[in-house]
Amino acid sequence: MVERKKPSAIPVSPLAPTPQVSISDDNSRVIATLPTGDRVEVLLYGATVISWKSASGKENLFLSDKAYLDGSKPVRGGIPVVFPLFGAPTAGHETAKLSQHGFARSSRWEYLGKSSSESSSLPGNGGDASVKLDFGLSEGIIDSKARSAWNHQFGLTYSITLSTGELYTSLAVSNTESSAWDFQVLFHTYLKIDDISKVSVTGLEETAYLDKVVAGGPKESSATKKAITFEQETDRVYTKSDKTIIVLESDEPRFEVKRDALGDVVVWNPWSEKAKGMADFGPADGWKSMVCVEAGSVGQWMTLEGGDTWEGGQRIKAL
């Protein structure tokens, strides 16, 4: 009688860890964490990213300790979304009745769900490489005041993708009516640094800009041919630039910012006096530990034809 050998057991690899996504008990925030420890937290009010931490636990975004997180006012810090206008309204324009920076940052968005990228599940691999969170906003869910001030049909899909050491934010703007309308868009990113006096920003040396704090009012200025440094209040709108931006601290790269279809960059630090005048800015010396590098399209109006969609984004790498 021939003895049959039993087949060997097939080894089962342990399941690779995957990103974890949760919603806060009060249904106000969405939190995503990678197996590496990278973490992002998004407030549904404004779809505002209020925290982005690297695997080490280091916070990459500045958030005022006086910021309103209860949905009563736009958030001071993180990454507020600016749409459909940047800055104060322009008299005579279709956005003239809107509040500064528009309604996207002061509306509650819908959480549309998550998706994650697949990577090797071999032992030693970190599992899924990234997780994407999607949020939506349309004319049907903004408040009546905003709807009456800007009476257009639209759809916004805001995607926030967290990967190891990187955060990618993209906005798709759809015109869902038959006639065209104008808009501007910007990611009002507050980057967290240690000492503004040791910070420099490169990548905009060859770009002309609008200086909004120069004596005599906003003034067009030619390219400086040198890195941006900070010794006083700074508020500049750089236009028509596609170069990678590097934020350095003590001459060491801290952040890298790449942009898709966003040709303008706002660089801002309020300095001490202006910070004192903002009721929601804190601590008092918080201006020393932040710099805004804001990717957008704000130098002029973009016109979106009926039925069309525009999309742009920024990729920030923590170095």
Catalytic site residues? 188, 294
Query: Considering just the CA atoms, what is the radius of gyration of the chain in Å?
Result: 22
Distances, alpha carbon 310 to alpha carbons 93, 174, 235, 267, 305, in Å: 21, 6, 27, 24, 10
Distances, alpha carbon 240 to alpha carbons 212, 259, 277, 317, in Å: 17, 12, 32, 22
Q: For residue 10, which phi and psi values (nearest 5 degrees)?
A: -80, 125
Which residues sit opposite 43 in a β-bridge? 29, 48
Cis bond upstream, residue 84 (ω within 30) = yes
